[in-house]
Amino acid sequence: MLELAEHILDIAENSVRAGARLIEINIAEDTANDSLSIEITDDGHGMKQEEINKVTDPFYTTKTVRRVGLGIPLLADAARITGGCFNLESQEGKGTTVKATFGLSHVDRQPMGNIISTLIVLIAGNSDVDFFYKYRHNDRQSEFDTRTIRKEIEDVPINHPEILKYIRGVLKEGFSEIKPEA
């Protein structure tokens, strides 16, 4: 089974390909509402209306080689089968927001997977892009921002192995407190 972290990686990679300088990843779990939402916003080149209409088609891609099995249509389906919904908003020259909402306790809801490793992969592979990650579980929330890290490390590259190790530690510490059962 796919994991939500894999979808997040795929959607964020779309943002990277769109030339984004900043990618925001926002995850919110709300047990009272029985919902889990994932929102990814970028400041990349965006899409034309015509392209927006096409992207939920499972056979549409602007890549010449497509990895089979992921992409926007799969995330949209994964959300809808849990009674959730999917939304994509994009403005040419401004950026794109992809939002998927899942039924949190639905049996077919894919597990979160390793979101920390996913963030590390994104940061390590795209050292010139900033990532702002927000995670909320009911009324507890934590944030992580590579722009803050950059200020702390000054001239050291953010994808230096020691820095990545440090970031992993920061993420683990900051996000393990949010969800007591995780």
Q: Which does 63 bind (CB under 5 to 8 A by kind): Mg ion, ligand ADP, none?
A: ligand ADP
Binding site for Mg ion (CB under 5 A): 10, 14, 71
Nearer to Mg ion, 4 or 163 (CB): 4
- Where is 40: in which H helix or E strand? strand 35-42
**Long-range CB contacts (< 8 A, 24+ apart) of 161-166?**
164/120, 164/123, 164/124
Residue 97 C-beta: closest distance to ligand ADP, Å: 8
Say if CB 102 and CB 30 are below 8 A apart.
no
Please report whether residue 14 would count as binding ligand ADP according to CB under 6 A: yes
Residue 61 C-beta: closest distance to Mg ion, Å: 7
List binders of ligand ADP among 33-52 (CB under 6 A).
Answer: 42, 44-47
Say if CB 18 and CB 11 are below 8 A apart.
no
Please report whether residue 110 would count as binding ligand ADP according to CB under 6 A: no
What phi, psi does 72 have (nearest 5°)? Answer: -60, -45
**What is the rounded distance in angstroms from the CA atom of residue 159 to the CA atom of residue 127?**
6
Please report whether residue 127 would count as binding ligand ADP according to CB under 6 A: no
Please report whether residue 18 would count as binding ligand ADP according to CB under 6 A: yes
CA distances from 158 to 12, 13, 24, 155 (A): 18, 18, 17, 9
**What is the rounded distance in angstroms from the CA atom of residue 124 to the CA atom of residue 129?**
10
- The only residue of 72, 115, 122, 158 in contact with ligand ADP, by rule CB under 6 A: 72
Please report whether residue 93 would count as binding ligand ADP according to CB under 6 A: no
Q: For binding to ligand ADP (CB under 6 A), which residues are involved?
A: 10, 14-15, 18, 42, 44-47, 55, 60-63, 66, 71-72, 96
